[in-house]
Structure 1
Amino acid sequence: MTMSVDATNRLKPGQLLPELVSARGLAAVWIVLAHTYAKTIEGNATLPAAVEYTRIVVDFFFVLSGFVLAHMYDEAWREGRFSYFGFLARRLARLYPLHLATLLLVLLLVTAGRFMGVEPDNPHDWWTFLVTALLMHSTWATSDLAWNWPSWSVSAEWCAYLAIPLFLALADRVRGTVARIAAGLGGFVAIAAFSELALRQELVSLTFDGGALRIAPSFFAGILLRRLFDDEPIFTSMTPRAYAAAVAGVFAVCAGLVALGVGYDALWPPMVVLVAALASRGTWAEPGLLRGRLLAWLGELSYALYLIHAIALQVVFALAERLGLATSVGERAVLGVIAIAATIVGSHIAYVVVERPGRRVVANLLLRPRQGASAAQKSGAA
């Protein structure tokens, strides 16, 4: 089948990009499976390199986040219509309801565990709870991962949102394709070198101990990449063969790098290429593999999957261990399947009951008063 692609295609600001939505869901599933596998073999086998390198998937999310937010807000920024408060209100409405709900759920579970004489290993105290509630637990404010530990990346996202005027202003100063590519890659290299020299860690390894720094080059690269789509027709005139080659190439390069045992940071550039390829596919009118209903549903559920899965794993395995049912690899494999099922069911419930209505409630609380005041001012002026 020959697919025609219009070389004059352009991404329209705010246009739905279904491939990016589905890819977000698949990335969340990948993380769920990797963490489940790691928990299943815990104490019985060494973690395979392919699972250990899964941490780069979070950086894919970070690049994707910068790209999507530039896709939604860059036009308003350039035209002087960007509202910083409105942006933060909408992002808080997106992140906070489910973050708070899962944090409180973990608080309930930890409290119940302490009544039964079970004390968590990580620092679950009033300080780490407060820092986590304020979405600041990726800023060196805690001594370890605590509470719902995957949410460190939610904190990193929030820190990037707080700094978005700076990111957009810096992007304004980078003009031209070569300069943008150099700035994106150079920014990552510079911050990765700082992490190695000052923090003694690879940038892609940072979580509670600098996740807010880790997101910076990825978020910025995503913004620059979105601007490249406006200026370079080649990004939206990718042929089906080129698209397939780009996606396959990303996975082949990553597999090769993992096999060579290189540092985690070396897998970062392919994540940017993958976002570019998927976004390019979003300009096509033709249906595709990533536009199916199941994958679209996973994309919508991705945030819930990410925040719920660690809780499901901890509860399922902790209960089984107290009952003496997690002694063999076979038993732990069954528990892993149960945890995945619990994650899917729990995520769907959380999405329907908490995340989706929570967005509306928080957005209304934060934005409606300002919208009403703006309407009143216009009426008075008239």
Structure 2
Amino acid sequence: MFAPFGKPGTAPTRHFVVLDGLRGIAAIAVMALHLKVKFVLGYRPEAGLAVDFFFLLSGFVIAHAYWARLAERRMSLGTFVVVRLARLYPMMLLGNLIGAVYFLTLGGKTMTQVAGATVFALALVPLPRLADPAASAYPLNGAFWSLTHELATNFLLAAMAPWLGRSWRFIAFLAISVVALIAVAQAGRLDATIAWQDQAYAFFRALAPFVLGIFLYRLLPAHTASTGGSGLAATGTGVLVALALAAVLFMPIQPTWIRLGAVLVLFPAIILIAARLPEQGPLTALWRWLGAVSFPVYALHVPFVFALDPWLTPILARHAPYATPLFVLVIAALLALATLALRLYDEPIRRWLKRVLARRNAVQAPART
């Protein structure tokens, strides 16, 4: 039942399209939360749990794409770091620069303040707030707290992959990380995000789901078998898991133990079910688009929320009949903007980076033989 970690294998070719769609739904939920969806729903939802879902999904995808090569030392830590930064940094750069422009023009910050925050943001390091520990360590773009800790966990596990190749070691490390997450929950910090004083908690909030995501990928080797065919049952199952995820993310705020159960039990079940669904089906194009646009949505929405908030929040709060259509219109506009950023900026830059890295590898290959 349990596959050995780091077992030999070829480069993965499977694409989990329903998981792509779930990633997009989670990103939209976070955007909706920041856009004050509470005025539409009548309550504040649990959309912050979307970030924990991201961490789980990140572990699953990293395991699929890189874990065997890392564990067998067929991919170096340095190569993995470069590949991950090439994937994430362009959009993080744009999100931070948009945040800097906002604070310089509309946010009331000085050039010195923005310049200092930008240096730390571009270095992917939280801004120290020793004088005010409750202040944001990610002032230009608060969404990047999760990406910073995701990269930290990515790099840590990549460095440990050869040592964690034995199943018992990985299980022990997973158990330790889950215990640490439970300790974070008991400390009342399961919602740790941007505050400087919460960064240690935020790291362990990211670590346990990420490690669990790797475990989920390796748990059932048969999860890659369902790669062909389609049908009403598979499509319906995909819709049901999407609705289940949305229901959790848009439910009212729950006690800590329920939130912890969602992260450790419900979300893993959703991922395992979705991962078994076929790639091709009537909703494949939708799932792929949601997955493609998810990162631009997450990386870019916060500065625009800052800019929209002064006029959007009063309208949503005071004009209930118009709240829902206006909210949907704003969401649609930001999705369109994210799609443009994806097509015109992110994808071309990543294609260029891929060519550069391929040329570099081609030049270095003779020296290694």
Range class of TM-score, shorter chain: 0.7 to 0.9
Q: Tell me how far 1:279 sits from its aligned partner.
A: 0.9
Aligned residue in 2 for 1:103: 96
Q: 2:289 aligns with which of 293, 297, 303?
A: 297
Q: Tell me how far 1:158 sits from its aligned partner.
A: 1.4
Deviations 1:280-331 (A, max 9, x none): 22xx46x446x4312311211110111222223222333668xx97772346
Q: Tell me how far 1:60 sits from its aligned partner.
A: 0.9
Q: Tell me how far 1:343 sits from its aligned partner.
A: 0.8
Note the residue ranges of structure 1 that are not aligned, 5 or more in a row: 1-9
SS at structure 2 position matched to 1:54: coil
Highest CA radius of gyration, 1 or 2? 1
SS at structure 1 position matched to 2:47: helix
Q: Tell me how far 1:336 sits from its aligned partner.
A: 3.0
Aligned residue in 2 for 1:203: 190
Alpha-carbon distance in structure 2 between the residues aligned to 1:126 and 1:12? 42
Q: 2:346 aligns with which of 349, 355, 364?
A: 355
Root-mean-square deviation (CA, aligned residues, Å) is 4.1
Instruction: Check whether the contact 2:96–2:140 (CA below 8 A) recurs between aligned residues.
Output: yes
Q: Tell me how far 1:207 sits from its aligned partner.
A: 4.0
TM-score by length of 1: 0.74
Aligned residue in 2 for 1:6: none
Residue 94, structure 1, aligned to residue 87, structure 2: yes
Instruction: Check whether the contact 1:250–1:273 (CA below 8 A) recurs between aligned residues.
Output: no
Instruction: Check whether the contact 1:155–1:212 (CA below 8 A) recurs between aligned residues.
Output: no
Aligned residue in 2 for 1:273: 269
Q: 2:336 aligns with which of 345, 352, 364?
A: 345
Residue 373, structure 1, aligned to residue 364, structure 2: yes
Aligned residue in 1 for 2:6: none
Alpha-carbon distance in structure 1 between the residues aligned to 2:292 and 2:239? 27
Note the residue ranges of structure 2 that are not aligned, 5 or more in a row: 1-8, 227-232
Residue 192, structure 1, aligned to residue 184, structure 2: no
The farther-off stretch of 63-72 and 352-361 is 352-361
Q: 2:117 aligns with which of 89, 105, 128?
A: 128
What does 1:1-382 align with in structure 2 at a 5 Å threshold?
Answer: 13-38=12-37, 41=39, 48-49=43-44, 51=45, 53-113=46-106, 118-119=107-108, 125-137=114-126, 143-144=135-136, 145-169=138-162, 171-175=164-168, 180=171, 184=174, 186-196=175-185, 200-208=187-195, 209-210=198-199, 211-230=202-221, 233=222, 247=241, 254=248, 261-263=255-257, 264-269=259-264, 270-281=266-277, 284=278, 287-288=280-281, 291-318=283-310, 328-330=318-320, 335-366=326-357, 368-375=359-366, 378=369
Assess, with a 3 A threshold, how the Cα gap between structure 1 residues 245 and 364 changes in structure 2: closer, same or farther: closer
SS at structure 2 position matched to 1:336: helix
The farther-off stretch of 124-133 and 291-300 is 124-133
Alpha-carbon distance in structure 2 between the residues aligned to 1:193 and 1:67? 21
Alpha-carbon distance in structure 1 between the residues aligned to 2:165 and 2:129? 30
Alpha-carbon distance in structure 1 between the residues aligned to 2:249 and 2:323? 27
Alpha-carbon distance in structure 1 between the residues aligned to 2:26 and 2:90? 22
Instruction: Check whether the contact 1:66–1:221 (CA below 8 A) recurs between aligned residues.
Output: yes
Q: Tell me how far 1:335 sits from its aligned partner.
A: 4.9
Q: Tell me how far 1:359 sits from its aligned partner.
A: 1.3
Instruction: Check whether the contact 2:95–2:141 (CA below 8 A) recurs between aligned residues.
Output: yes
Alpha-carbon distance in structure 2 between the residues aligned to 1:71 and 1:202? 30
Assess, with a 3 A threshold, how the Cα gap between structure 1 residues 370 and 274 changes in structure 2: closer, same or farther: same
Assess, with a 3 A threshold, how the Cα gap between structure 1 residues 13 and 259 changes in structure 2: closer, same or farther: same
SS at structure 1 position matched to 2:125: coil
Instruction: Check whether the contact 1:308–1:346 (CA below 8 A) recurs between aligned residues.
Output: no
The farther-off stretch of 364-373 and 153-162 is 364-373
Instruction: Check whether the contact 1:86–1:367 (CA below 8 A) recurs between aligned residues.
Output: no
Assess, with a 3 A threshold, how the Cα gap between structure 1 residues 335 and 110 changes in structure 2: closer, same or farther: farther
Q: Tell me how far 1:373 sits from its aligned partner.
A: 2.1
Alpha-carbon distance in structure 1 between the residues aligned to 2:352 and 2:146? 23
SS at structure 2 position matched to 1:106: helix
Instruction: Check whether the contact 1:11–1:229 (CA below 8 A) recurs between aligned residues.
Output: no
Assess, with a 3 A threshold, how the Cα gap between structure 1 residues 365 and 55 changes in structure 2: closer, same or farther: same
Instruction: Check whether the contact 1:138–1:212 (CA below 8 A) recurs between aligned residues.
Output: no
Assess, with a 3 A threshold, how the Cα gap between structure 1 residues 81 and 132 changes in structure 2: closer, same or farther: same
Once the two structures are aligned, what percentage of the paired residues are identical?
22
Alpha-carbon distance in structure 1 between the residues aligned to 2:285 and 2:332? 19
Q: Tell me how far 1:257 sits from its aligned partner.
A: 9.1
SS at structure 2 position matched to 1:203: coil
